[in-house]
Amino acid sequence: MTTKLVSTEPATGATLWSGTISDIDAEIARARAAWPAWAAQPLSYRIETMRRFGNMVRSKNDKLADLIARETGKPIWEALTEVDAVIGKVEISISAYSERTGQKRLEGAMGDRSAVRHKPHGVMAVLGPYNFPAHLPNGHIVPALIAGNAVVFKPSEKTPAVGELLVELYHSAGVPDDLVRCIIGGPEQGRALTAHEDVNGILFTGSAQTGIAINTQFAARPDKILALEMGGNNPIVVWDTADVHTAAIMVVQSAFMSAGQRCTAAKRLIVKDSLYDAVVGEVKKIADRLIVGEPHSQPTPFMGPVIDNQAADGLTESFLILMSNGGKPIKHMVRPIDGRPFVTPAIIDVTSMPERPDIELFGPILQVIRVGTFEEAIAEANNTRFGLSASLIGGSPQHYDQFWANIRAGIINWNKPTNGASSSAPFGGVGISGNHRPSAYYAADYCAYPVASSEAEQARASIGIGLKDVDVSAMGD
């Protein structure tokens, strides 16, 4: 049995970190024991602790960003934006908790009152992804702690170093060591964590396959809260626009930011027939200029490698499968460095493919589909089991109204990329992109449950109907 986990830098192959596989039972027991004292603390205390955490992250900004960049391969400029998001999540979560789970009291006659307050669930398991190893799990952990929960956090086995540092920063800010635990391990530890009887909720970000398995696992357990965010096969539609260059920039940003490893990344470009040559030509021209390189390399890269060679191999194989089944390559995917998971952005026209695979190709592959009418564009955009993000570039206000009304997605944008969603709004999807428990601003909803109370300081009761008359003669002297 493996007792160690090792993390390597995608860009160089160098060993970055190693750690011991966690004892799941022991870690959950520690969190369970620490939870009551934390839940009993005033909300103001928990909020101030989270603010200290934000300041602690700010003081370690460069260290955390460097570790994110090295362990994921993303450019340092992008890693710095992720750290900013970690810090910003604190105040957003405080506001969201106040707005989404605020207390309510109604006073009645004779001192009676009704109240609505919220209680934490208990021990929450957070399973984080590798593409945003600090920001995305932090988006669950901070709201969960504000609500009064304990957290057992399993980072992706591909980014454990960032997960470990993130937990150290919580502890350094005054969060009790036992209250937030870092679970080191792979899929086996993940399954043991979600199956554990002492876990009250699972907050998951990752693949649809794993999320569906978790959902199935708890079909007979409605007592356990599940929040599942499972990616997308996201469309970006380009319609009537005179500014082809700007449209193409937004397509490139949507498809190739983070090497296409964003759950909101555009996977399908749907373009009006009459605009096809101009738009696709401009997208290719910009994509040809994108610099792919190591996190700290110069000139500054637009994107780094994908997470590992297994992912890179899967993407190159997927591109070949699309070609062999009727796809027409516009820009080939290339592996520029032998033995390392760098891949160049790829573009392929799949309009003539009889069956297009409805899967999330988690990398820089953009599939292009040309259509004749706006109704066809909407139908093609909805031709997926997923439903996370969708964007319309160009078109009139009437087009956008029609687009918004008919697209099935949790994030619908106009003249904006598909990615880069605001943490001040709910973040989640429909179909197999989620289970209708959006995160970001709405994370407070699944971190606490509402309790309704009817209250009076003195007991008063009477029964005024439906009683037999009292037999006075039988009562005796």
Q: Catalytic residue positions?
A: 229, 263
Helical axes 43-59 vs 135-147, angle rounded to 10°: 160
The DSSP symbol for 127 reads E
Q: One-letter amino acid identity for 93? A: S
Spatial CB neighbours of 339, under 8 Å, sequence gap ≥ 6: 13, 309
Determine the Cα–Cα distance for residues 56 and 54; give it in Å rounded to an integer.
5
80/130 Cα distance (integer angstroms): 16
Classify the phi-psi angles of 13: left when phi > 0, otherwise alpha if psi is within -120 to 50, otherwise beta.
left
Helix (H, G, I), strand (E, B) or coil at 113: strand
For residue 225, give the DSSP letter. E
Q: Is 299 left (phi over 0), alpha (psi -120 to 50) or beta?
A: beta
- CA 342 vs. chain centroid, Å, equals 24
Q: Quick check: 418 and 264 in contact, CB under 8 A?
A: yes
Residues 6+ apart with CB under 8 A from 362: 207, 231, 260, 261, 306, 311, 315
